[in-house]
Amino acid sequence: MNTVWALAGVVIKELYRRKDFYVLFVLTAVMTLLMGSITFFNDPRIASYLKDICLLLIWISALVIAITTTARQIPAERENRTIFPLLAKPVTRGQVVAGKFLGCWLASGIALGVFYLFFGVVSASREHDLAVIQYLQALWLHWVMLAIVVGLALLGSLVFAAPSSNATICFIVVLGILLLGRHLNQVALQQPEPLRTVVYSIYFLIPHLEWYDIRDLLLYDHPGLRWTDCLLATLYAGVYTAMLLLGAWLLFRRKPLHA
């Protein structure tokens, strides 16, 4: 486990030493504050539009950070040839996959924490109130969802040669699931056989990332989720991530490396 943590540590250092995170955070902050500086119809109490925009920017930024950070990990190790001194140490390929996953997930979590802190400050400063339970649930589920996204990008980095193509495909898949995943069963029912079965199978196979988007509950002061539902969603993400990591490990294990 020490090896996995060591590998994760390098990924986290990479996140805070590269400019990506800062650029995205500043961009989010500037856009939110810019929107916040506008007073619509002389009513300073209006807040949900600002929270909505801020959360949307956080979602986009978190996906960009998680996918781009993960997509470049193993290809960069190969391109810079650091994979060779790494695997020449008593490190297994499984540990590399686990370490990279843990690093990317924790790094995304740290970034997410900073973003949500900013959101909390914006929200509290406008409304002088914060639905703490919904806020924590939204943060937790968002982070849990990123575990699946990181797993997906890690698997993709072993399938696709270029990190850019992997990142693009991951973005399309993740956004596709977030926007359409919930409705695939409806789409399936409108199709003739055998397309119906194919679409329905896809619906059952894809990770349902849309569950983890509870922005509406947070924005419109709906009651929080039941903790058992949170737990079940976490379990689902855990199982799905484990499956993706297993796939990544199996692929990486078979991949010959030529120094």
Partner 1 sequence: MNRPVRHSLLLLLLASACFTLATLLQPRVATWGQRHAADSLMKVVLGDGRRLFANHFFVQADVTFHSGYYPSIFDRDQAPKGTRHLTASPEDHAEHDPDPASPGREKDEDHSGHACEMSFLGPPRDWIEAFGRRFMVTEHTHLKGGKEREMLPWLKISAELDPQRVETYTVASYWLRNLGKFQEAERFLREGLRNNPKSYEILFELGRLYNENLQDPNRARNVWELGVRCWDERESKKDKPDLLALDELTVHLADLEEKAGNLARAIEWLQRALRASPRPEAVQERIEDLQRRLAAGGSRPSP
Partner 2 sequence: MWQRLCLCQVKGFVLAGRWQYAAPQNNTESGSKNMEVILETRDLRVEYRAQNGQGKKVAVKGLNLKVHAGEVFGFLGPNGAGKTTTMNVLLGFVHATAGDAYLFGVSVREPIARQRIGYLPELTYYYKFLTAEELLRFYARLFGIPRAEADRRIDQLLRLVELEAARKRPIKTYSKGMQQRVGLAQALINDPDLLILDEPTSGLDPLGRMKVREIIQRLKNEGKTVFFSSHELGEVETVCDRVAIINQGELKVEDRVSALVEKHQANLEQIFLSLIGYQAEVTA
Residue 47 binding partner per list partner 1, partner 2, none, with a CB distance cut-off of 5 to 8 Å that depends on partner kind: partner 1
191 belongs to the binding site for partner 1 (CB under 8 A): no
- Give the range of 11-19, 48-56, 163-171, 176-184 binding partner 2 by CB under 8 A: 11-19
- Say how many Å lie between the first and final Cα of the chain, rounded: 27
Cα separation, 160 vs 148, in Å, equals 18
Q: Which of 42, 80, 190, 228 binds partner 2 (CB under 8 A)?
A: 80
Is residue 159 within 8 Å of 251, Cβ to Cβ? yes
> What is the residue whose two structure tokens read 């696709």?
160
The binding track of 52-81 with respect to partner 1, each residue x by CB under 8 A or -, is x-----------------------------
Cα separation, 137 vs 122, in Å, equals 18
Q: Which of 27, 55, 87, 175 binds partner 2 (CB under 8 A)?
A: 87
Backbone conformation region of residue 53, classed left if phi is above 0, alpha if psi is from -120 to 50, else beta = alpha
Nearer to partner 1, 20 or 229 (CB): 229
Helix segments in 80-183, DSSP class H:
83-87, 93-127, 132-159, 163-180
Q: Computed from CA positions of residues 92, 93, 98, 101, in that sequence, does the dihedral angle turn out positive or negative?
A: positive
18 belongs to the binding site for partner 2 (CB under 8 A): yes
Token pair recorded at residue 69: 């950070």
Nearer to partner 1, 17 or 193 (CB): 193
198 belongs to the binding site for partner 1 (CB under 8 A): no
- Give residue 35's Cα distance to chain centre: 25
Q: Which of 30, 34, 92, 189 binds partner 2 (CB under 8 A)?
A: 92
119 belongs to the binding site for partner 2 (CB under 8 A): no
Q: How far is the CB of 207 from partner 1 (least distance, A)?
A: 11
- Give the range of 87-95, 96-104, 185-193, 241-249 binding partner 1 by CB under 8 A: 185-193
Phi, psi of 223 (to 5 degrees): -65, 155
Token pair recorded at residue 12: 């986290």
Which residues form the interface with partner 2 (CB under 8 A)?
2-3, 5-6, 9-10, 13-14, 17-18, 80-82, 84-92, 256-259
